[in-house]
A and B are shown apart, each in its own frame.
Chain A
Amino acid sequence: MNASHSAEARKPVLRIRELTLRFGGLIAVNNLSIDVAGGSIVGLIGPNGAGKTTVFNVITGFYRPSEGSVEFMGQQLTGLPPHRVCMAGVSRTFQNIRLFQNETVLQNVMIGSYVRQRGTWWQNLVPFLFPAAAREEREIRDDAMKLLERLGLAEQADARASSLPYGAQRRLEIARALATRPKFLLLDEPAAGMNPQESEELLNFIRRLRDEFALTILLIEHDMKVVMGVCEHIQVMDRGLLIADGSPEEIRANPRVIEAYLGQSAPEAGDEAGNGVGGFKAGDFKKEEIAHAGH
């Protein structure tokens, strides 16, 4: 693992500065500052309700922050609407998969390419007058097909998105995000609903994505095996605050993180879980344990 050493050499592409988001009296994100180094895979973890998805929604323009700023490769994203954030090169997936259910797999990916399409709708009505637009339209179809091949979805290109198995739907959502040609990818719980074998495959898949598509990846995940296995750097949030920031090894040993996950009485919770080694493992790996219990 030379990840930490290479990460030092990389410049931050995403800078979140003193970000605060209030919903009425509730502070969902509190004075959060995060740097994400270019080309790295960074994990954003924390207990339920910590504000992780809210941070994603702020980055992608769905929420306007009460205070603070988000900057991507020198461009201010703060206050931009979602489609402009996408144009700037940031794409994302959703915790509850949000595919275009009635469209085919291929159409889903083609919709992703639309943001980079230069030919207009009326040019494509009369393709013989605008051969460049017609060519572009064909290229979009071909490129979408190639993307599906790379992600192992080409077989189902003409199937309706809703008919795909769960794991394939997650991959299609990533394919669709990649079709927007992002430089930065936000993955919201990519391993949710996957069995241990599938999450094992996901580790390699995420690394492959980063390398082949020259991406920087920020991911939210509850499956600690995935987080520890793939992330080079981890940020931990609790109740809107950033409570820890470091390499997986540092996070694993951080007492504040253990406290956040297990509450004040960390040792007790560890005992309850039975085989708790160091408290953190037992409680936080709830999901993993459940999965293991079945095998």
Chain B
Amino acid sequence: MNEDMNRKTRNFILNCLALAALVAFLLWAPGNLDRYKLRIINLIAINAILGLSLNLIYGMTGMFSLGHAGFMAIGAYVSSLLILTAEQKTSMWILEPIAPWLLNLHAPFLVSLIAAGLAAAFFGWLIALPVLRLGGDYLGIATLGFAEILRILIVNLTPLTNGSLGLKGIPAHTDIWMSYGCLVAVLIFMIRLMNGNFGNVLRAVRDDEIAARTMGIDTFRTRVLAFTIGSFGGGLGGALMGNLITAIDPKMFMIAQTYSLLMIVVVGGLGSITGSVIGSVLITTMLEWLRIVEDPITIGSLHIPGIPGMRMVIFSMLLIAVIIFRREGIMGTREFSWDWFFPKKTKQRPISERPVSDTKGADAG
């Protein structure tokens, strides 16, 4: 018991130290890094938020969803429409006039973030009710369809969304403090959620639905809930993204966006919070770093012209390699623990009973 207390205190101190290190980095970064690097650092946090929310749906609860770009779009549009001023809106809507009720709708940034999350969660809940009765690949196709329908709606509902022209001049509210603040909040949320008994229940629904129902779990309700929470995260991430890039249009939220999030989750490890963060760091930096292969390269007398889209080819190959050689991703379902750095004092207890094969052998013989 005493040892357990010590461990808790130790972990608390180490967590505080890690947080302090993050704060120190965030203080140091803006003065010492150029804008391009800062943008990537921001994107890492936002992609981690998006990856975590997709992981909650896919990795933790086992619902194969391809609709995350749709939730991002809802979040980005809701947040931007609330932040933009009336003058900005009137000058931007050139094809058709903006809906009058929307013109004077205005909210501060933080409120718009929450509204973005809630709007995405509402849509998530709405489509979850019919769609979550499906399972496996069917669910993937249905959610994919939802995201596409949503994107086409955005293109065509010009009075609300300014159609394919998109929204420009969104104030750049997302700085590294904002994105990492949100990431820490989402991380704490996820850790508390998954470490509680409700986290066990989510994994139970994923692993064996029939057994979960026998244990008195309303699996449909549980899945709808997890899907709704995950959609909230998608909306939040979309809003942060919009306020980072300062311009959004429907093309940003195509299926490719969902795929890169899926890559983060799968490479990091389905069902692992740590994995999603690691996946976000790797995939986000690599997506940027691999841009060099698209530039013309001259090695001595050899001249290779830049091929646009080349990084996606390399990326796909990397993904195939992950799926072939390490299907469970970097972390599998494991989580980071401070215990990794401290040798264990208690020995592994031997399992006294015979293994399965022995029991079976005795019965057959």
- A residues sitting closer than 8 Å to B (CB atoms) are 60, 62, 81-83, 86-87, 91-92, 94, 98-103, 107, 110-115, 117, 121, 124-125, 137, 140, 155-156, 159, 163-168, 176-177, 180, 193-195, 198, 290-291, 294
Contact = CB atoms under 8 A, between A and B. Distances in A.
Nearest to A114: B201
Contacts, number: 124
Contacts of B363: 193-195, 291
Contact of A91 (B203, B208, B214, B356): B214
B95 interface: no
Across the A-B interface, the 6 shortest Cβ-Cβ residue pairs: A115-B216, A86-B216, A121-B198, A82-B213, A294-B365, A98-B211
B351 interface: yes
B214 A294 contact: no
Contact of A114 (B208, B215, B365): B215
B301 interface: no
Contacts of B210: 62, 94, 98
Interface stretch (B188-196, B308-316, B318-326): B188-196
Which of B219, B355, B356 has the most CB atoms of chain A within a 10 A radius of its CB? Answer: B356
Given A103-B203, A155-B349, A165 B359 contact: yes
B333 interface: yes
Contacts of B364: 290, 294
Contacts of A290: 364
19 contacts: A62-B213, A86-B215, A99-B211, A100-B212, A103-B200, A111-B200, A114-B215, A114-B216, A114-B217, A121-B198, A124-B197, A137-B196, A137-B197, A155-B349, A156-B349, A166-B360, A168-B353, A177-B214, A290-B364
B362 interface: yes
Given A121-B198, A166-B356, A167-B359, A111 B215 contact: yes
Contacts of B360: 166, 193
Contacts of B349: 155-156
Contacts of B192: 124-125
Contacts of A60: 214
A166 B197 contact: no
Contacts of A87: 216
A98 B208 contact: yes
A37 to B, nearest CB: 24
A175 B141 CA distance: 39
Which of A92, A121, A125, A193 has the most CB atoms of chain B within a 10 A radius of its CB? Answer: A121
A62 B362 CA distance: 34
Nearest to B203: A103
Contact of B200 (A91, A107, A167): A107
B342 to A, nearest CB: 17
Given A164-B353, A180-B215, 17 more contacts: A83-B213, A83-B216, A94-B214, A100-B207, A111-B204, A111-B212, A111-B215, A121-B198, A121-B225, A125-B196, A140-B197, A165-B355, A165-B358, A166-B360, A168-B353, A194-B359, A291-B363
A39 to B, nearest CB: 23
Contact of B201 (A111, A137, A180): A111
B193 A121 contact: yes
A85 to B, nearest CB: 8
A171 B365 CA distance: 23
Interface string B339-356: 000000000010111111
